[in-house]
Amino acid sequence: MPGSVRGILLVFLAASLWGLSGTAAQLLFTHDGFSPLFLVVVRLWGAAVILMLALALRGPRRLAVPWPDLGRLVIFGLFGFLLVQFSYFFAIARIGVAMATFLQYLAPSLIALFFVVSERRAPAPTEALALVLALGGTILLVLGHGGLSLEPIGLLFGLLSAFSLAFYTIYPSGLIRRRGAFVTTAYGFLFGAVAASVPWPLWLHGIGQVTAGSLLLIAFVVVLGTLVPFALYIYALTHVRPTVVGIAATAEPLSAAVSAFLVLGQALTWPQYVGGALILGAMLALARQNGRSEAGEAEPTPVTAGGRPDA
């Protein structure tokens, strides 16, 4: 399988896990009384500890990072890992999950605009088509039920989540090239967790109803809803351009809608079915184009040059 197609599939899997995690989080909020901030702090610390221990067991030298990169990792943890989660959860609380998700997935457009300006070139025709399909599919998928709230502070944080997701996708390319995908992810989790614990220590938030079911949901959110998808997303940047990664990540609202239908019984409307089809069309267009490009020995992505993703 071509590396670029593998990267798209990894992002699709990561986004699908994020969507399932959103459904699990909703169950924790509504049925077990856990607060969003509590879950943000727990998922960051849980993922940080697990990944740090795994890397240390493979060799403590992997965690040695020079001071300049350590500072960059602090920035990545604060404005990537922490901000993208906090702003999204805050937006959900103010304007609802539909509008918050729509605003967050303006990020692929922001990523494409960044590279249009920085590289002074228009997106490839297939990328542009996939971007239009993904954006249109997201609009239909997350706004299909209507009943949206337009509170200004909620809209502000929704837009902030879009910019932070774009930053999370674009910023770490140099870190991944020098430190590797998993070390970059581990330190991002760690610094995000430390920063989140200063203003929002766990003991200041009401812990919900602790049962075997809620503990399993929390474990799912930490491992399969945070650690695995964030690591897959960063690793995918070693195979495909950030623009393609951002477009492929629009599979998250599709996964969230399907899991909400299966688990929570939230029926899908016909615009949502159309939106899901458009997003899948965008994935197929990207996969076909990147497969052909790799077969034709297209130029490597900036992230892969000189990097070891498993370092």
Mean pLDDT of 162-174: 93
Please state the φ and ψ torsions of residue 149, each to the nearest 5 degrees: -100, 145
Residue 240 DSSP symbol: S
The tokens describing 117, both together, are 């300006």
What is the model's pTM?
0.81
Tens of pLDDT along 43-59? 899 999 999 999 999 88
Which residue in this structure is represented by tokens 């995918």?
236
Mean pLDDT of 210-226: 92
Mean pLDDT of 133-162: 79
Predicted confidence band of residue 62 (pLDDT cuts 50, 70, 90): confident
How many other β-carbons are positioned within 10 Å of the β-carbon of residue 288?
Answer: 12
Predicted confidence band of residue 301 (pLDDT cuts 50, 70, 90): very low
Residue 302 has a pLDDT of: 42
Tens of pLDDT along 221-263? 999 999 999 999 999 988 888 888 888 888 888 887 788 778 7
Q: Report the distance separating Cα 83 and Cα 76, nearest Å.
A: 10
Predicted confidence band of residue 309 (pLDDT cuts 50, 70, 90): very low
Residue 22 has a pLDDT of: 80
Q: Report the distance separating Cα 81 and Cα 75, nearest Å.
A: 10
Task: Count CA atoms within 13 Å of residue 106 on its CB side.
Answer: 16
Residue 8 has a pLDDT of: 87
- Percent share of the chain, pLDDT over 90: 26
User: 62 and 118 in contact (C-beta within 8 Å)?
Assistant: no
Residue 244 has a pLDDT of: 87
Predicted confidence band of residue 135 (pLDDT cuts 50, 70, 90): confident
Mean pLDDT of the chain: 82
Q: Report the distance separating Cα 200 and Cα 38, nearest Å.
A: 8
Cα 306 to Cα 180, 234, 242, 298, 303, distances in angstroms = 10, 16, 17, 16, 8
Q: Nearest CA to 132 among 19, 293, 285?
A: 285
Cβ neighbourhood burial of 89 (10 Å; 0-12, 13-18, 19+): buried
User: 77 and 189 in contact (C-beta within 8 Å)?
Assistant: yes
- Chain-centre distance for alpha carbon 117: 23
Q: Angle between the 212-222 and 36-58 helix axes, to the nearest 10 degrees? A: 60
Q: Nearest CA to 87 among 104, 72, 102, 74?
A: 104
